[in-house]
Structure 1
């Protein structure tokens, strides 16, 4: 058993490298040389691939690892990241991402966000009373979730998230604007008699400050912070397209 999947990846690579350098070596010799059980080595010598390695290969094939910040894949991942941060979660044990639709963000839009990064989805809990429906991937979901975590998305509860993921600042301004628009559409509230949009989140003050910074970066109209949230003026909401 491997408590850390990365250790399994390293051992697999060690076996494959040793076998490439010693093509006539059998499982016993390889196991002794690398201090690994012969039974474990046997499968890897016969082209069995551990799940963590399959996951890495899937992420590479889909372009999810170190995508070009100016490319479409990065833009799609950042958009999905906005949906997860504002309206979803990543399971702590399985790393499966899930996004819940809301008043401004429907199931079709969330499905499209997943499909843009190359995965199909299903809606769970749709027919269960008292449970909010969630859009989840049907393939490579845990791999995608781990990639989102590598982009600084948290697993489990998000109340301790104290900063925006750094990748949001690495992409073009138009992609940051899309990130902000998605976030506000998920989290924005409008109150009777007020023309402003309020984004209330249970996050440390440092997160609120960064949210204000990125809003100021993509908007010219007024945005203010107070009481653990951000208030977007009516003009700023029109500018962002979230009236």
Structure 2
């Protein structure tokens, strides 16, 4: 996954106006920026006629407006959320893992994570400049959650562009870049195991059981985990198991 591919996937999370498709909207805005740079005194009528765009759209852009998708791309770029290497990239990958394991992205693109699953969501959100707040739930069936405070909807779109799913239980596959990017794959595996792994009483293995996930998902998860641990990983019905020898030999699972 390169930055251009990631930006394109991010852009596809936006819906353009009814009269135009997304690619054409972006092309119109690029042409507007170029035209205005060459004709800084041109008014909306001249710009609209020259570019073949609605006058209202030209007026909005002259006044400093821009398509939501462009504003989103600028925001994500400024925060480094399109980076595909380095610490910000790994922090965002941990947040993607957290969505798979203990979170969701709602219908207005705001991501949330369980506040009680032992993964460093708060630390990662602060590291990438997204801020964080805790949402305290009064309903017994819902636990407290963590949510970003700075550009939450842009971050939610970035996470989905990176392969996160809006509903945790709807995931059927893992993002392909995790299998090609060694560092990203490892932090994803560690985060997922931290959030979903269970060691039964009087046992030394780690098991992950999720009855709402597909067999394909668990097969891919087992393959990804196997790339980063020392020893075997078993794919079983509704989950995976890391046997005691694998757990004991994979010392980084216990690292902070």
TM above 0.5, one fold? Answer: yes
Structure 1 residues 8, 182: CA separation in 2 closer, same or farther (over 3 Å shift)?
same
Residues 1:42 and 2:36 aligned together? no
Q: How does 1:126-145 map to 2 (within 5 A)?
A: 126-130=136-140, 131-145=142-156
Taking structure 2 as the reference length, the TM-score comes to 0.81
Unaligned runs of 5+ in 1: none
Q: Tell which deviates more after alignment, 126-135 or 4-13.
A: 4-13
Unaligned runs of 5+ in 2: 1-15
Aligned twin of 1:205 = 215
Q: 1:112 aligns with which of 123, 136, 150?
A: 123
Q: Does structure 2 retain, via aligned residues, the 8 Å contact 1:8–1:52?
A: no
Contact 2:103 2:168 in 1 (8 A): no
| Distance in 2 between residues matched to 1:39 and 1:206, nearest whole Å | 49
**Partners in 2 of 1:188 and 1:207 — Cα distance?**
16
Q: Does the residue aligned with 1:198 lie in a helix, a strand or coil?
A: strand
Listed one character per residue, the Cα deviations across residues 13-54 of structure 1 (whole Å, up to 9, x for unaligned) are 232222233334321121123332212211211323343322
Corresponding residue SS for 1:135: strand
Spell out the pairing of 1:1-12 with structure 2 (5 A cutoff): 2=17, 8-12=25-29
RMSD: 2.3
2:85 equivalent to 1:75: no
- Contact 1:221 / 1:236 at 8 angstroms: preserved in 2? yes
Tell me, in whole angstroms, the C-alpha distance in 2 between the residues paired with 1:137 and 1:6: 29
The Cα offsets for residues 145-185 of structure 1, whole Å up to 9 and x where unpaired, read as: 11111111112x23342221122223334x43222111011
CA 1:50 to 1:161, structure 2 compared with 1: closer, same or farther past 3 Å?
same
Aligned to 2:193: 184
1:218 maps onto 2:228 in alignment:
yes
Q: How many residue pairs are counted as aligned between the two chains? A: 233
Q: Secondary structure at the match of 1:118?
A: coil
Specify whether residues 177 and 5 from structure 1 end up closer, same or farther in structure 2 by C-alpha distance, changes over 3 A only: same
Q: Residue 81 of structure 1 contacts residue 148 of structure 1 at CA under 8 Å; is this kept in 2?
A: yes
Shift of 1:229: 0.6
1:100 maps to: 114
Partner Cα distance (1:177, 1:24) in 2: 54
